[in-house]
Amino acid sequence: MKAIYILVFLVLSMTLASGCSNVNSKSDDLNAIREVALNSISNQDKQQLNLVWKNAEVTKIKFDEMINEYSIPEGAEPKRIENLYKVTFDKNHVIFVDGNTKKVVGTISKE
């Protein structure tokens, strides 16, 4: 009976540990995307955002949402991206990052 309790405990522990590692991995990915977006901003703007950049909102969005929300003219849109993230530092700085290549694919700057 004691062996069964130990076995159940080990299985639950391993499940919990693997679940936590997935959360950390996702958090690391979002931080990498956030940092790519920050590095695309001018040094002057970067100084203004320095204290809040780690709190920037990172949202996975669909390609069509980017096209529709920001009225990108036909023919000017980038190639279709399946793993697209929108990084919002503040109302004036919105950066779009390809989650696969970790490259900036669009910038909306309202100054």
Among 6-20, 37-51, 65-79, the minimum mean pLDDT is found in 6-20
Check whether 9 has a pLDDT greater than 60: no
Mean pLDDT, rounded, for 69-92 = 78
Q: How many other C-beta atoms lie within 10 A of the C-beta of residue 32? A: 14
Using the structure block, give the residue that is written with the tokens 């522990």: 13
Domain locations along the chain: 2-109
The CA dihedral of 68, 74, 76, 78, to the nearest 10 degrees, is: 60
